[in-house]
Structures are given as structure tokens and as C-alpha cells.
């Protein structure tokens, strides 16, 4: 997600556009076809193992996310069986832990799809001008297509989504989207003000989002019941589950997943380096066959890689007024560290043209944001975030989850009927306690400890994308206690 949940999502997509403006991923190859470039015999085993962990972090995270979100017999809340939509009917709350950095501006329509057996058809109803988008992520978290108001308009539309090895004819009236991996994640978002009336209107649209196997086209179709696996941990946050995996379990899962979700041909060097450690797509991984130095390095890899991934937050992008911006999100090329970081703190982030998310953890003086203090974020007159969609300021705790608060407000935006100052400027009050009845419309509740702020700008204008506009600093008030 930039700007971030992107912190990161200001990156311009490099995927070629075809047809009606939908990105289509380039064909990918199996690891066996990837060129083995260079001789890794003299490379530091710890560097190789750490790089391999970082490279595979998105694929492993996507798989564990899939397991958690599809481990139900029928759609229920944020969960749904494979190939079916889970439609969130209201904004997530502070108990939501399935995805880091969730939003409270749109209602999610989420579906994991296995294209390995056959293509699927996605039907979208007439949105009647409402903002929506249906980004599709590969198993490596790259966005390869994004139907939505910005790209395809809000009229009714149907897509034929096929896997990387598919060939054949497309049904009449449907547009082909060929995915780079067999596992994909459709993470749809439909704007909603959160009022009872608007919830009802969006629910009616969600009920018409239809996803069916291609073989069911033209006939009545009832999705089969999903399989519930009691061994799947549905309570622990996915990021924690990934980070807890020991090296052998992690790399074994990675090797298995790469068989049906092949690395890009452009990733040949990374694939070759992994192969030098015995991490090969489709083959069981056994570190026992490696030299002692390599075995030790493999065992240490998670402890080395996770801090490196999270530490990249300080180094990525540009830094303006305490906010972090980057132009890399949704489509990462060979920037595997950036891809891993976005996976960790903003899984499911959009392309920058759809959403840019500035992120900050510090105030204007560089001090760590903490609910023990009170803060103000002032937008001068006429300088609210420039967007063609909408914007909001979201509060997260130090782990990028919503913060429990007495008014159940997780973000503040124009839909809260923000009050302007006499000079036209707008102040947002960021603090634990209410700033008073007269200012409560502009209040974003904070936790008592450290927190993170993310400014969401959906369908940002050029001023956001080119950096000529930046969020104002978060200023600690004079009544601060720290």
C-alpha cells in the first residue's frame, strides 16, 4: 500500500493492459523452466536462506490466509468455502484479526478460487454509479486484474477467469482474465456510508456478486458445502501463524505451493538460489541433505528474515511530514522485500491508481505516536486529500488491527460530517478521550499505548500519485502528557 496500506500503494502498475483496460498477467513458468543464473556455491548460506524466506513470505501467508478464511461449510461472516463469496455485511470491529490493516470504508466481498480444475465466471451487477472495485490477487499477492468503477465503470459485467495453463473459448458476453497462478484471491470492496439504509443497498449488490465454475454456466448451480478442517487455527492472527513456523515447515510448505503457483520467469535468480538450498517447487524439503553450515543457516532464517521484513518499513519510500510514501504496491516486480512487508502489514493492498495509503507511526517531531498524548492533524483550507473516490484516516494499534473505543469509530472521514474552522481548515483530533461534544465529529479515538495512522485515498488524483500533495503532520498538542 504511498502511501500505504499501502504504505505502499502508490506504485504504478507495470502489467500490460488489454481489452477494456484490465491487466492481464504475463505467462509464468514452472521453476524447472527458470534459468539457473550464476553460481551460488560461494554465497553465504544465511543470506541465501534469509532471502528465500523473504521471497516466499507472500505465498506462504496467502495459503494460511486461505485456510483460515475458507474453513467453513457455508458462507458465514468473513469466511466462505473455496469458490464462494464471503460478504461482510458491516464494518469489521476491533475483534477482527483475519487480515491486517482492515478498512472501515467499504464492505468486503472476498473469495478464494482454485482455477486448477477449471475457469470460473464472475458476474457483477449494475452498481448505479457506486464506487467499487474487484481486485484479483495472484498467490504471490500481485494484482493482475481490477474490475471497478475506475477501470470498467459501474454497469453490469461478466468475466471468465482462467488459470495460467488454460486454453479454450470464452463464453459469449464474458471477458477473459487469465491469472498467473491457480490460486487467486478476489478481494472486492464496495463503498458504504455505514448507515442502515446504505447497508441495505450494498447488501443487495453483494447478493448479486456471482461466482460459479465454468461448467455450471447456463444452468442452475448450488455451491457444494465446504470442508471444515478442525486442525486449522482460526483464532490466531495469520501473521503470527506464519512467523511461528519453523524453517523446515515453512520451506516445505513453500516448495509445495510453488508447484501449482509457479514463480515468474523473471524470478529465475531467486529460484536458483533457493534450489541451491534444496528448496525446489513440488519436491519435499529436507534440510538434512544440506551441509552443516547450510542447515544452521536454514534454521536461523526465520529469526533473521522477520525483523528484516518489518524493519523495511523505516527504509521504504519517501518520508514527508512524518508520513511514509512509496510507489510500489500491488505489483512488485523483483522487490521481494517490499512485497513481503506489504504482505505483513497490508495484505490485499490495491494498485496505487485505485488506492494510496500514507502511513505514520510518529508525530511532527519524530516521536512515537502514543495514546498517552493528544494530537491534531490540520488540513489547510482547500487541502483535504485530493481524490476521485473517497478518503479516510484510520486508527490501528501497534499490530495493525482496529482499536476498541466507546463510539466504535475506527476511521474518520467526510461522512462523519466534519466541522471546519472559521478559516476553512479542518482539524482531526486524535486522542484516547473525547475532545468534547462540539469536536466529536472530528475525533479519531486512540488506544492508550502506541498506535499507527493510515490515510486511505481511493482513486487518488495525480497530486497524490506524483507527490505534489502530502498529508499534513500529526502535531502533539500542548496539553500532551509525554
Look over the chain and give the mean of its residue pLDDT values, rounded to a whole number.
89
What is the average pLDDT across 301-311? 96
Say yes or no: 172 and 280 in one domain: yes
| Domain termination residue (choose one: 261, 288, 304) | 304
pLDDT tens per residue, range 117-148: 999 999 999 999 999 999 999 999 999 999 99
| Domain termination residue (choose one: 263, 285, 304) | 304
Say yes or no: 294 and 429 in one domain: no
Say yes or no: 424 and 292 in one domain: no
C-alpha cell at 258: 510453488
Say yes or no: 20 and 160 in one domain: yes
Say yes or no: 292 and 397 in one domain: no
- Does some domain include residue 63? yes
- HSE on the CB side for 130, CA within 13 Å? 24
- Does some domain include residue 380? yes
Please report, for the domain that includes residue 429, its CATH number.
2.60.120.1600
Domain that holds residue 429: 361-476
- Predicted confidence at residue 478, as pLDDT, reads 72
More confident residue, 268 or 357: 268
- Does some domain include residue 400? yes
Domain count, the chain: 2
Say yes or no: 394 and 267 in one domain: no
Say yes or no: 297 and 389 in one domain: no
- Does some domain include residue 4? no
Say yes or no: 189 and 65 in one domain: yes
Q: For the chain, give the secondary structure using H, E and C.
A: CCECCCCECCCCCCCCEECCCEECCCCCCCHHHCCCCCCCCCCCHHHHHHHHHHHHHHHHHHHHHHHHHCCCCCCECCECCCCCCEECCCCCCCCCCCCCCCCCCEEEEEEEEECCCCCEEEEECCCCCCCEECCEEECCCCEEECCEHHHHCCCCEEEEEECCCCCCCCCCCCEEEECCCCEEEEEEEEECCCCHHHHHHHHHHHCCCEEEEHHHCCCCCCCCCCCCCCCCCCCCCHHHHHHHCCHHHHHHHHHHHHHHCCCCHHHHHHHHHHHCCCCCCCCCCCHHHCCHHHHHHHHHHHHHHHHHHHHHHHHCCEEECCEEECCCCCCCCCCHHHHHHHHHHHCCCCCCCCEECCEECECCCCCECECCCCEEEEECCCCCCCEEEEEEEEEEECCCCCCCCCCCCCEECHHHCCCECCCCCEEEEEECCCCCCCCHHHEEECCCCEEEEEEEEEEECHHHHCCCCCCCCEEECCCCCC
Give the DSSP letter of residue 29.
Answer: -
Say yes or no: 370 and 299 in one domain: no
Whether the per-residue pLDDT at 291 is higher than 90: the answer is yes
- Does some domain include residue 379? yes
Whether the per-residue pLDDT at 237 is higher than 70: the answer is yes
Whether the per-residue pLDDT at 342 is higher than 70: the answer is yes
Say yes or no: 285 and 404 in one domain: no
Say yes or no: 398 and 268 in one domain: no
- Does some domain include residue 463? yes
The model's confidence at residue 325, banded by pLDDT at 50, 70 and 90, is confident
Say yes or no: 381 and 286 in one domain: no
- Predicted confidence at residue 5, as pLDDT, reads 32
- Does some domain include residue 325? no
- Does some domain include residue 7? no
- Predicted confidence at residue 336, as pLDDT, reads 97
What is the average pLDDT across 178-194? 96
The model's confidence at residue 436, banded by pLDDT at 50, 70 and 90, is very high
| Domain termination residue (choose one: 304, 324, 345) | 304
- The pTM assigned to this predicted structure is 0.83
Report how far apart, in Å, the C-alpha atoms of 75 and of each of 78, 99, 105, 418 are: 8, 17, 22, 36
What is the C-alpha to C-alpha distance for residues 363 and 474, in angstroms, rounded to an integer? 5
pLDDT tens per residue, range 8-66: 333 222 222 223 333 333 333 333 333 333 344 458 999 999 999 999 999 999 999 99
Is the CB of residue 174 less than 8 Å from the CB of residue 134? no
Please report, for the domain that includes residue 265, its CATH number.
2.60.40.1610
Amino acid at each position: 500500500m504511498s502511501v500505504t496500506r499501502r504504505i505502499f500503494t502508490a506504485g504504478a502498475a507495470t502489467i500490460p493492459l488489454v481489452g477494456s483496460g484490465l491487466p492481464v498477467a504475463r505467462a509464468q513458468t514452472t521453476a524447472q523452466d527458470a534459468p539457473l543464473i550464476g553460481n551460488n556455491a560461494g554465497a553465504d548460506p544465511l543470506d541465501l536462506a534469509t532471502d528465500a524466506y523473504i521471497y516466499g513470505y507472500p505465498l506462504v501467508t496467502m495459503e494460511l490466509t486461505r485456510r483460515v478464511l475458507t474453513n467453513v461449510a457455508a458462507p458465514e461472516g468473513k469466511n466462505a468455502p473455496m469458490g464462494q463469496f464471503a460478504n461482510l455485511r458491516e464494518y469489521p470491529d476491533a475483534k477482527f484479526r483475519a487480515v491486517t490493516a482492515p478498512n472501515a470504508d467499504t464492505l468486503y466481498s472476498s473469495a478464494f478460487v482454485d482455477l486448477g480444475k477449471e475457469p470460473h465466471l464472475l458476474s457483477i451487477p449494475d452498481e448505479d454509479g457506486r464506487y467499487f472495485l474487484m481486485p484479483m490477487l495472484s498467490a504471490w499477492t500481485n494484482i493482475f486484474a481490477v474490475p471497478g468503477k475506475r477501470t470498467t465503470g459501474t454497469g453490469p459485467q461478466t468475466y471468465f477467469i482462467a488459470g495460467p495453463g488454460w486454453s479454450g473459448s470464452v463464453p459469449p458476453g464474458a471477458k477473459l482474465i487469465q491469472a498467473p497462478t491457480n490460486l487467486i484471491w478476489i478481494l472486492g470492496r464496495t463503498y458504504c456510508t455505514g448507515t442502515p439504509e446504505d447497508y441495505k443497498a450494498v447488501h443487495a449488490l453483494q447478493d448479486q456478486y456471482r461466482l460459479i465454475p465454468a461448467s455450471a454456466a447456463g444452468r442452475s448451480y448450488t455451491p457444494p458445502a465446504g470442508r471444515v478442517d478442525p486442525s486449522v487455527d482460526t483464532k490466531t492472527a495469520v501473521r503470527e501463524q506464519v512467523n511461528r513456523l519453523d524453517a523446515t515447515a515453512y520451506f516445505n510448505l513453500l516448495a509445495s505451493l510453488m508447484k501449482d503457483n509457479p514463480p515468474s520467469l523473471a524470478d529465475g535468480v531467486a529460484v536458483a538460489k533457493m534450489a541451491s538450498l534444496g528448496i525446489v517447487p513440488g519436491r519435499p524439503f529436507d534440510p538434512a541433505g544440506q551441509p552443516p553450515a547450510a542447515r544452521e543457516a536454514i534454521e536461523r532464517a526465520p529469526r533473521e528474515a522477520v525483523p528484516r521484513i518489518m524493519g523495511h518499513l523505516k527504509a521504504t519510500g519517501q518520508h514527508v511530514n512524518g508520513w511514509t510514501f512509496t510507489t510500489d504496491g500491488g505489483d512488485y516486480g523483483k522487490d521481494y522485500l517490499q512485497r513481503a512487508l506489504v504482505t505483513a502489514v497490508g495484505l490485499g493492498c490495491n494498485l496505487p491508481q485505485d488506492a494510496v495509503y500514507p502511513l505514520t507511526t510518529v508525530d511532527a517531531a519524530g516521536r512515537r505516536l502514543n495514546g498517552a498524548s493528544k494530537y491534531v492533524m490540520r488540513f489547510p483550507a482547500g487541502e483535504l486529500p485530493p481524490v476521485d473516490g473517497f478518503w479516510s484516516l484510520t486508527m490501528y494499534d501497534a499490530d495493525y488491527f482496529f482499536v476498541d473505543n466507546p463510539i466504535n469509530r475506527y476511521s474518520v472521514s467526510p461522512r462523519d460530517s466534519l466541522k471546519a474552522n472559521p478559516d476553512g481548515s479542518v482539524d482531526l483530533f486524535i486522542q484516547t478521550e473525547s475532545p468534547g461534544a462540539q469536536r466529536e465529529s472530528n475525533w479519531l479515538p486512540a488506544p492508550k499505548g502506541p498506535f499507527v495512522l493510515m490515510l486511505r485515498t481511493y482513486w487518488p488524483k495525480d497530486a497524490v500519485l506524483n507527490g505534489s500533495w502530502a498529508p499534513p503532520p500529526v502535531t502533539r498538542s500542548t496539553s500532551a502528557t509525554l
